[in-house]
A = this chain, B = another copy of it.
Amino acid sequence: MQHAASSALLVAGWHRMSYSFPDHSLISNELEELIRKLHAIVGNANTTGRFIVFGAGSIQLLNAAVHALSPHNSSAPAKVVATIPFYPVYKSQTDFFQSVDFQFVGDTSLWKNTSDTTSNLIEFVTAPNNPDGKLNKAVLQGPNAKPIYDHAYYWPHFTPIPAPADEDLMIFTFSKLTGHAGSRFGWALIKDKDVYETMSNYMSLNVDGVSRDTQLRAFKLLKVVTRGRGREIFEFGYKTMKDRWEKLNRALLMSRRFSVQESSPQYCTFSGKVKRPSPAYAWLKCEKEEDKECYRVLKKAGIIGRNGTLFSANSSYVRLSLIKTQDDFDILLHRINKLVGEENGGKSSMRRMKSTVS
């Protein structure tokens, strides 16, 4: 509830009633400029020579990108892949909207040495990855490889920023920047003019552009974010996420039953210093054979995560969200401590928990 006054918005009854902005476009130029400024401040993406398309969150832009990177009416429809573990929507969305031009075919590794040289291979590359926070890079190479970089989490509160992302097609979203998921606002940075035009067509024929009310709100909120060159929101976010990650790791330190992904400190160009990991999710593994239904093990202990199978991994993995409210996180930590305590004998772990949660 910080910045209540500056982030509030008064919308006049007659605001932006029309289909188009005065320049006949469906997107606000002022908002586009502010997005370029934000990336310049944060240093997380190179916007030079890139077109911008707005979408309803990143989700709509993912499918628009698949459309744009697929050949039209070819006898060889594009194959769409992602590297396990991956965000479930890549598969469910591509399956649901399966067109004559593209098809989801599973894990990237299966197509690394393919002899098929006629089909486009569209690879979802998520950096940092949801669920495991890795800064993935495209696996497939060559003229038919068409990566879509999903950078939803590439902000200084979730990862050190080693360098500006500089790929041909990059997707960002509001929901993981300010947390305003309900506004449904995202954008794509696109190098190729044809890809840009097809994605713009997609937006026109799908929804006639992003709601102008949403564009106005995004503008207002980004104005607040970029004030003071973004220091305030990103430092607050980093500190919160790093603290949670460290508390969770401390709780799991003595466990032989549960582990989480490893990650190391890295230099962050935005902060000008080495930063410790601060991921949005813990990709927790139940290490023991008898715990291979890890989701159930955790659920029994009052911890609700997302089953690894949703991410096309096996059931010994569970994704725990670290971006819920502080109360939710405190309860999660309490229950993790309790679980690990039972593993190691109740008394000592309870002491450790007390020193950790406060």
Contact = CB atoms under 8 A, between A and B. Distances in A.
Contact of A92 (B16, B55, B99, B205): B205
Contacts of A119: none
A217 B213 contact: yes
Contacts of A314: none
B14 A56 contact: no
Interface string A1-37: 1011011111111111111000000000000000000
B205 A97 contact: yes
A207 B99 contact: no
B13 A221 contact: yes
Contact of A4 (B6, B12, B96, B175): B12
Contacts of A217: 11, 213
Interface stretch (A109-117, A150-158, A177-185): A177-185
Contact of A208 (B56, B98, B201): B56
A184 B209 contact: yes
18 contacts: A11-B217, A13-B224, A15-B182, A19-B182, A56-B211, A59-B208, A60-B206, A60-B207, A63-B205, A93-B206, A96-B202, A97-B205, A99-B100, A181-B208, A184-B211, A211-B213, A213-B214, A213-B217
Given A10-B10, A55-B207, A92-B205, 14 more contacts: A7-B13, A13-B221, A19-B181, A56-B206, A56-B207, A56-B208, A57-B208, A97-B99, A97-B206, A99-B99, A183-B212, A184-B208, A210-B211, A211-B213
